[in-house]
């Protein structure tokens, strides 16, 4: 991607919820794709610059799975995502003990 195009793209592209500020995010995100695979709403994708991007904030249930799976510190849990993740873990524990 040409530098100009890349700068324009980066300025317009949405970062995942809880993502580190723009310059740090570009350093931290390795483009591993773990968050894009786990997002239950299919909201995350790897951009042409191989950084995780958010298609739209609409539909994000703040489940926190993207932050939970990011082992590079590029996405941190927001307070809302912390609540969402706690609920998922509680649901998992409940279904594991209901057998
Ligand atoms: S899991 Fe983290 S490092 Fe991997 S693509 Fe997503 S934000 Fe980037
Ligand atoms: S918080 Fe959940 S729904 Fe929102 S972008 Fe992350 S994985 Fe997707």
pTM: 0.89
Q: What is the mean pLDDT of residues 73-80?
A: 97
Q: Among all ligands shown, which has an atom nearest to the Cα of 45?
A: 1
Asked if residue 19 has its Cβ within 6 Å of ligand 2, the reply is no
Q: State which H helix or E strand residue 89 sits in.
A: helix 79-97
14-97 CATH, one of 3.40.640.10, 1.10.3080.10, 3.30.70.20, 3.40.190.10: 3.30.70.20
Residues with CB under 6 A from ligand 1: 29-35, 52, 69-70, 72, 74-75
Query: Whats the size of the chain, residue-wise?
Result: 99
Q: What is the mean pLDDT of residues 5-30?
A: 89
Taking every pair of Cα atoms in the chain, the longest distance, rounded to a whole number of angstroms, is: 57
Of all protein residues, the one whose alpha carbon is nearest to atom 1 of ligand 1 is: 70
- What distance in Å separates the CA atoms of residue 14 and residue 56, rounded to the nearest whole number? 7
Higher pLDDT among residues 80 and 13, named by residue = 80
**% pLDDT > 70, the chain:** 97
At 1, the pLDDT band (50, 70, 90 cuts) reads low
Main-chain phi, psi angles of 53, to 5 degrees: -130, 160
Which residue has tokens 């324009």? 8
pLDDT tens for 29-65 read 999 999 999 999 999 999 999 999 999 999 999 999 9
């Amino acid at each position: 991607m040409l530098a100009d195009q890349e700068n324009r793209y980066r300025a317009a592209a949405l970062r995942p919820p809880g993502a580190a500020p723009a310059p740090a995010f570009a350093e931290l995100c390795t483009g591993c794709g773990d968050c894009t695979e786990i997002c239950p709403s299919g909201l995350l994708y790897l951009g042409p610059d191989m950084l995780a991007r958010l298609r739209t904030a609409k539909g994000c249930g703040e489940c926190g799975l993207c932050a939970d799976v990011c082992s590079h510190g590029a996405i941190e849990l927001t307070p809302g995502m912390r609540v969402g993740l706690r609920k998922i873990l509680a649901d998992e524990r409940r279904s594991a003990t209901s057998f």
